């Protein structure tokens, strides 16, 4: 089912503090920051942040009624409060799926809703297809299927046709002779031995994505150096390696999760993850509801997208209450 939603007025739930936070040793020298928020006996939801490399934030707790949901958030390997920062050692999609399995076991959770946007949607799909028995549903935003066509759109000039001034800024640090493969060109610099050089090239990488994330985004030329370095290195590492997935794997293996309910919230004017991917994912998936959000781009913080995600999670809560009767 696909449709364009009307403008929703749902407000974010009040801010609150986690009832549990910890650093979890997952092996390979990595320790992950994990937190739990809301009702310790509530319906579990796993929040998967974007990037790769973005990290979770207190804002991400506010899409869930804390009286009903038990919300689990974690910073993936190498980013946020996880350590070591900006590390790409033993850092692949398969490692992240194994980390999610360990978190589930440590927290003694049988099944959970998977809530993720952008790269978080990619990881939600990859995990659910690997372990469908532990997923109770998916709520996805700004779908990214990790296909070469999507990387070509964003780093091969497609999106640049709509933002030629910002695209020129992204190209500027790279010699013209290397413009045929910008992911590889940035990779050589983000993974040089000089951490100062890494930081200098991390900022334009981060700014290109951030400038296009929201429909009303205004370009910024600054960000905390360590955040920019972690984000750019991790994202580039994953994109250099095709996100450690086979081409079109997430569409090919959709049959493994078609029995699960899913909702996709997709900005109609998403320039980072164009809506065609969400449409192709939902097409033919009977239990998947695709909602195009008008006058909206990619970012989780866009008012209409945020409101629709709150509405979806409140709807799941209300439907659960009705079934419990």
**Length of the chain as a residue count:** 325
Q: Which of 118, 187, 277, 296 is catalytic?
A: 118
Annotation says 118 is catalytic: yes
Domains and CATH numbers, the chain: 2-147+244-324 (3.40.50.1820), 149-242 (no CATH)
Query: How high is the mean pLDDT of the chain?
Result: 95
Q: Is the pLDDT of residue 5 over 60?
A: no
pLDDT at 159: 98
- Contact (CB, 8 A) for 113 and 139: yes
Q: What percent of the chain has pLDDT over 90?
A: 92
In angstroms, the CA 321 to CA 325 distance is 6
pLDDT at 2: 58
Cα 101–Cα 90–Cα 96 angle in degrees, nearest 5? 25
Q: Give me the mean pLDDT over the 253-275 stretch.
A: 98
Q: Which of 30, 49, 134, 298 is catalytic?
A: 298
Pairing of strands 112-118, 20-27: unpaired
Q: Which of 65, 75, 99, 270 is catalytic?
A: 270
> 15-64 pLDDT, tens per residue?
999 999 999 999 999 999 999 999 999 999 999 999 999 999 999 999 99
CA atoms within 13 A on the CB side of 208: 26
Q: Is the pLDDT of residue 216 over 80?
A: no
pLDDT at 223: 77
* b (16+ CB within 10 A) / e for 93-117: bebbbbbbeebbeebeeebbbbbbb
Phi, psi torsion values for 319, nearest 5 degrees: -65, -40
CA nearest to 135, candidates 123, 146, 119, 143: 123
Q: Give me the mean pLDDT over the 263-276 stretch.
A: 98
pLDDT at 215: 85
> 51-110 pLDDT, tens per residue?
999 999 999 999 999 999 999 999 999 999 999 999 999 999 999 999 999 999 999 999
Identify the bridge partners of residue 293 per DSSP, sorted by sequence position: 267
Annotation says 255 is catalytic: no
In angstroms, the CA 300 to CA 306 distance is 6
Q: Cα torsion at 235, 240, 241, 247 (round to 10°)?
A: 100
- Check residue 185 and report its DSSP letter: H
pLDDT at 218: 61
> 181-195 pLDDT, tens per residue?
999 999 999 999 999
How far the first Cα of the chain sits from its last, in Å, is: 27
pLDDT greater at residue 226 or residue 147: 147
* b (16+ CB within 10 A) / e for 238-260: bbbeebbbeeebbeebbeebeeb
Q: How far is CA 187 from the centre of its chain?
A: 21
Q: Give me the mean pLDDT over the 214-230 stretch.
A: 79
Pairing of strands 262-267, 135-143: parallel
Q: Give me the mean pLDDT over the 142-148 stretch.
A: 98
């Amino acid at each position: 089912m696909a449709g364009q939603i009307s403008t929703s007025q749902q407000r974010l739930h009040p801010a609150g503090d986690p009832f549990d936070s910890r650093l979890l040793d997952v092996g390979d020298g990595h320790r992950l920051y994990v937190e739990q928020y809301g009702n310790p006996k509530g319906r579990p939801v796993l929040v998967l942040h974007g990037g790769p490399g973005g990290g979770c934030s207190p804002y991400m707790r506010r899409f869930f009624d804390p009286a009903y949901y038990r919300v689990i958030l974690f910073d993936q390997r190498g980013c946020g409060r996880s350590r070591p920062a900006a590390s790409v050692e033993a850092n692949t999609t398969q490692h992240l799926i194994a980390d999610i399995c360990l978190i589930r076991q440590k927290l003694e959770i049988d099944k959970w809703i998977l809530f993720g946007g952008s790269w978080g949607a990619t990881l939600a799909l990859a995990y659910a297809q690997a372990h469908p028995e532990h997923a109770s549903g998916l709520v996805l935003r700004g779908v990214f299927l990790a296909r070469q066509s999507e990387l070509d759109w964003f780093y091969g000039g497609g999106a640049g046709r709509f933002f030629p001034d910002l695209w020129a800024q992204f190209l500027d640090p790279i010699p013209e002779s290397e413009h045929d493969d910008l992911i590889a060109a940035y990779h050589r610099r983000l993974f040089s031995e000089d951490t100062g050089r890494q930081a200098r090239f991390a900022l334009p990488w981060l700014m290109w994505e951030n400038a296009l994330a929201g429909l009303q985004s205004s370009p910024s030329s600054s960000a905390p150096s360590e955040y920019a370095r972690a984000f750019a290195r991790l994202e580039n590492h994953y994109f250099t390696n095709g996100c450690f997935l086979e081409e079109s794997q997430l569409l090919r293996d959709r049959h493994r999760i078609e029995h699960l309910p899913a909702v996709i919230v997709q900005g109609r004017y998403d320039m980072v993850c164009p809506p065609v991917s969400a449409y192709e994912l939902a097409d033919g998936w009977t239990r998947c509801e695709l909602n195009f959000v008008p006058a909206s781009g990619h970012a989780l913080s866009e008012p209409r997208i945020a409101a629709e995600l709150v509405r979806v999670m409140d709807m799941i809560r209300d439907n659960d209450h009705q079934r419990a009767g």
